[in-house]
């Protein structure tokens, strides 16, 4: 019985917070006392009146300690630019973020500015939690929204029922092009030509051939000390092969089509048949990452946020386009994004928007962010200019931009508010990764279940 009361207790706690929260967030004595003197004349952002009431904005996000440090810096420069605004910044562990945000929203204690991503954005926007920032953005003269990746902005559009079109309800924090990284030294040692940075030139067959040469079992115990490829992205394989998880227009789950299961079988066979990849569970335990860092894995996957760690590596590495499917000649990968949203209930929407826009679009902030190796700049001119000229790895930075512009795609679940249908797939896919079932049989078996769950949760 304890379990039940625990959950109910949590709910009640929240309700009580809701009752006591009505007065929260407003400007109060404590907030104004640590506000810098608002008579600073260099207040260009105030665009109108010189003197403004001191305001406190709450901002909540998640991330690693590095990211936290960056944001603390960015916030300090925001406060300098907007002297009447004080930002209260909270960073929570990523794993707890979604629960924490939802409970805060249900209890009425929503931060003024907070991270949104994927299914959360959909759920929050639909529930009317997020402020429509279109008019604010249209009026701003401080930033040029046209200079921001369209692919990133579109993630935060909502037309009242669907994500991807309509007014903006958020601004991108970043874009995360999921790139194909390889250990140059291992390729050189084995005398294998490295993968091409140009999409479509290097196919699955080329990769497999290279991976076989790069998988080395020195002591003959059947467990290679060095693998060819690790954590191969299933999404990448499926999309490259012309397959889809789902057609969001009709709401049809499409995993049982040949383009899908052939790609899935290809990924499974990297381990099962060709033995050029460590098995899936080992990868889930981050071992593929460790292997790559240790120089025991030739090909892997990385996001821009991996750069700082990779800069420390004792070997040469670079990024390439994901291998193309020989059936289509196409390549594809995943382009992640996290965004900033403003609460629809914020008492200071203008200031909250200013903060979101500053964090998303301010030149200085974007520069600092990419120089620390956290992200590709949101600003197109900066990404194509100084970001490309950076002297740190990866050498072929163009790949990051290609992914953003040409062949990067949103995560599968980004357009569905309820994700149980995808969980059902992931929870059972080990049958294929373990070799207990063919991808064809598995997808035929799981498709009706996924369809049922999708219909139930999203229609």
Partner 1 sequence: MGTKLLSGYRRKELAWLYLFVAPPVLGFLLFGLVPILFSIYISFHKWDMLSDPQWMGLANYKELLADEKVFKSLYNTVYLMIGIPIGMVLSLLLAILMNRKFAGISFMRTIYYLPVISPIIAVSLLWQWILNQDYGLLNNFLWEVFGITGPNWLGKPEWVKPSLILIGLWSGIGGNMVLYLAGLQSISSTYYEAAEIDGAGAWHKLTRITIPLLTPIHFFVIVMGIIGAFQSFSQIYVLAVDGGPEYSGATVVYYIFQHAFEYFNMGYASAVAWVLGILIFIVTLIQFKLSNRWVYQD
Binding mask 427-456 for partner 1 (x = CB under 8 A): xx-xx--x----------------------
Does position 167 interact with partner 1 (CB under 8 A)? The reply is no
Q: How far is CA 105 from the centre of its chain?
A: 22
For residue 272, which of 424, 446, 431 has the smallest C-alpha distance?
431
Question: Looking at beta carbons only, is 129 or 236 nearer to partner 1?
Answer: 129
> Who's near 194: CB < 8 A, 6+ residues apart?
182, 184, 187, 318, 320
- Minimum gap (Å) between residue 40 Cβ and partner 1: 40
Q: State residue 37 phi and psi, 5-degree precision.
A: -55, 125
- Minimum gap (Å) between residue 34 Cβ and partner 1: 33
Q: How many Å is the Cα radius of gyration of the chain?
A: 24
- Minimum gap (Å) between residue 457 Cβ and partner 1: 7
Does position 217 interact with partner 1 (CB under 8 A)? The reply is no
* Coil vs helix vs strand at 103: helix
Question: Looking at beta carbons only, is 7 or 311 nearer to partner 1?
Answer: 7
For residue 237, which of 193, 277, 294, 289 has the smallest C-alpha distance?
277
Pick from 15, 165, 388, 390 the residue near partner 1 by CB under 8 A. 15
Q: Which residues share a beta bridge with 455?
A: none
286: left (phi over 0), alpha (psi -120 to 50) or beta: left
Question: Looking at beta carbons only, is 78 or 97 nearer to partner 1?
Answer: 97
Binding mask 118-137 for partner 1 (x = CB under 8 A): -----xx--xxx--------
Question: Looking at beta carbons only, is 77 or 420 nearer to partner 1?
Answer: 420
- Minimum gap (Å) between residue 328 Cβ and partner 1: 31
In 10 A of CB 194, how many CB atoms? 17
Does position 226 interact with partner 1 (CB under 8 A)? The reply is no
For residue 120, which of 101, 94, 106, 103 has the smallest C-alpha distance?
101
Q: Which 97-116 residues touch partner 1, going by CB under 8 A? A: 98-99, 102-103, 105-106
- Minimum gap (Å) between residue 450 Cβ and partner 1: 14
Q: Are 87 and 75 contacting, i.e. CB atoms less than 8 angstroms apart?
A: yes
Task: List residues binding partner 1 (CB under 8 A).
Answer: 1-5, 7-13, 15-16, 98-99, 102-103, 105-106, 123-124, 127-129, 223, 278-282, 284-285, 287, 418-420, 423, 426-428, 430-431, 434, 457
């Amino acid at each position: 019985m304890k379990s039940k009361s625990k959950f109910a207790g949590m709910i009640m706690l929240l309700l009580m917070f809701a009752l006591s929260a009505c007065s929260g967030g407003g400007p109060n004595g404590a907030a104004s006392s640590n506000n810098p003197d608002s008579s600073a004349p260099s207040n260009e952002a105030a665009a109108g009146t010189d003197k403004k009431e001191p305001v406190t904005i709450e901002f909540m996000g998640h991330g690693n300690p590095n990211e936290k440090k960056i944001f603390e810096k960015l916030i300090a420069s925001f406060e300098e630019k907007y002297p009447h605004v004080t930002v209260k910044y909270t960073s929570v562990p990523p794993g707890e973020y979604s629960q924490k945000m939802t409970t805060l929203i249900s209890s009425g204690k929503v931060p003024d500015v907070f991270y949104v991503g994927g299914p959360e954005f959909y759920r929050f926007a639909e529930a009317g939690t997020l402020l429509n920032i279109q008019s604010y953005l249209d009026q701003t003269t401080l930033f040029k929204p046209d200079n921001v990746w369209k692919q990133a902005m579109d993630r935060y559009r909502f037309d009242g029922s669907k994500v991807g079109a309509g007014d903006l309800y958020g601004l991108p924090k970043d874009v995360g092009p999921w790139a194909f990284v390889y250990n140059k030294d291992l390729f050189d040692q084995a005398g294998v030509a490295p993968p091409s940075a140009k999409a479509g030139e290097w196919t699955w067959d080329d990769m497999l051939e290279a991976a076989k040469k790069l998988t080395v079992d020195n002591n003959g115990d059947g467990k290679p000390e060095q693998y060819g490829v690790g954590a191969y992205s299933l999404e990448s394989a499926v999309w490259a092969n012309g397959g889809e998880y789902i057609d969001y227009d009709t709401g049809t789950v499409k995993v049982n089509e040949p383009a899908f299961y052939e790609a899935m079988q290809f990924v499974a066979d990297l381990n099962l048949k060709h033995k050029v990849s460590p098995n899936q569970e080992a990868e889930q335990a981050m071992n593929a990452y460790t292997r790559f860092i240790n120089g025991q894995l030739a090909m892997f996957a990385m996001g821009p946020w991996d750069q700082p760690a990779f800069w420390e590596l004792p070997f040469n590495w670079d990024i390439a386009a994901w291998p193309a499917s020989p059936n289509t000649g196409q390549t594809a990968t995943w382009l992640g994004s996290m965004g900033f949203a403003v609460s629809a209930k914020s008492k200071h929407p203008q200031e909250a928007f200013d903060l979101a826009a500053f964090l998303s679009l301010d030149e200085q902030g974007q520069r600092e962010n990419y120089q620390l190796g956290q992200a590709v700049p949101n600003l197109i001119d900066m990404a194509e200019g100084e970001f490309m000229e950076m002297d740190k790895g990866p050498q072929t930075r163009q790949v990051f931009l290609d992914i953003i512009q040409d062949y990067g795609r949103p995560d599968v679940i980004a357009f569905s508010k309820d994700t149980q249908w995808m969980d059902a797939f992931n929870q059972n896919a080990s049958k294929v990764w373990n070799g207990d079932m063919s991808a064809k049989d598995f997808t035929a078996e799981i498709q009706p279940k996924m369809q049922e769950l999708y219909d139930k949760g999203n229609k």
